[in-house]
């Protein structure tokens, strides 16, 4: 059973961020999950472009960038210019008029394209995006804040996605309220990676 673990850096210790990054790398983390929030698409402000640039400069691991912003296509080149080929960028399809255009910009820059699916977003409404992306980030909580409770009905959505992933060639990632029990349940079923925050890694919940 192989799976990836990503550290949710909005939960990190910003009093000594470089040490936090190095300690996570030494502990075997696979990538750094960077949540960018604009206070509009979600009711919170989180990490910034500068935070992202610093983490990618200091770390040797891949960046896993989650854009929780309105109309990401308006600013996508700004983010891509601070990333490395092979890094992942997720957008929310509902946040953009033509999400496929934004995803193509990510692909053209040599990044891995992904979409994030909110708890209230049905699989059917984003079906065509699965033909473009390589990663689908399933939100098991409403986006915008750390430390939320898991929404049980998301499990049925993951079951639907698992039935589609081979045919449409994408991997599934879990984001939100990720406990050890969730990893032990869903990794054997085919979920490829898990974002670790206050529930399991940083211990602030």
pLDDT of residue 201: 87
DSSP 27: T
pLDDT of residue 144: 58
Helices 49-58, 17-26: crossing angle, 10 deg rounding: 50
Q: How confident is the model at residue 146 (pLDDT cuts 50, 70, 90)?
A: low
Does the annotation mark 35 as catalytic? yes
Q: What is the 3-state secondary structure (H, E, C) of 135-171?
A: EEEEECCCCCCCCCCCCCCHHHHHHHHHHHHHHHCCE
Query: Would the pLDDT of 177 be above 90?
Result: no
pTM above 0.85, yes or no: yes
What are the residue ranges of helices labelled H in the chain?
17-26, 49-58, 76-80, 99-108, 154-168, 180-186
CA–CA separation, 131 vs 162, rounded Å? 15
Q: How confident is the model at residue 142 (pLDDT cuts 50, 70, 90)?
A: confident
Mean pLDDT rounded to a whole number for the chain: 92
Backbone angles phi, psi at 92, to 5 degrees: -95, 120
CATH 2.60.40.1930 describes domain 4-196:
no
CA–CA separation, 178 vs 182, rounded Å? 6
Contacts of 163 (CB under 8 A, 6+ apart): none
Q: How confident is the model at residue 147 (pLDDT cuts 50, 70, 90)?
A: low
Does the annotation mark 169 as catalytic? no
> One of 51, 64, 87, 175 is an active-site residue; which one?
175
> One of 23, 30, 35, 64 is an active-site residue; which one?
35
- Report whether 90 contacts 117 (CB < 8 A): no
CA–CA separation, 142 vs 130, rounded Å? 21
């Amino acid at each position: 059973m192989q799976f990836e673990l990503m550290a949710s850096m909005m939960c990190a210790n910003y009093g000594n961020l470089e040490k936090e990054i190095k300690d996570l790398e030494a502990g075997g983390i696979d990538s750094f999950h960077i949540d960018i929030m604009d206070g509009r698409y979600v009711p919170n402000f989180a990490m910034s472009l500068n935070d992202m640039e610093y983490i990618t400069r200091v770390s040797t691991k891949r960046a896993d960038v989650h854009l929780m912003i309105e109309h990401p296509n308006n600013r996508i080149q700004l983010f891509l210019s601070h990333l490395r080929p092979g890094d992942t960028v997720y957008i929310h399809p509902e946040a953009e008029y033509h999400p496929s255009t934004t995803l193509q910009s990510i692909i053209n820059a040599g990044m891995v394209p992904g979409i994030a699916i909110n708890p209230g977003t049905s699989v059917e409404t984003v079906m065509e995006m699965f033909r473009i992306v390589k990663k689908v980030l399933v939100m098991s909580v409403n986006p915008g804040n750390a430390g939320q409770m898991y929404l049980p009905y998301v499990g049925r959505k993951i079951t639907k996605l698992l039935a589609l992933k081979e045919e449409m060639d994408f991997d599934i990632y879990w984001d939100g309220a990720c406990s050890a029990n969730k990893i032990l349940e869903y990794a054997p079923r085919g979920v490829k990676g898990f974002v670790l925050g206050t529930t399991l890694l940083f211990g602030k919940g």
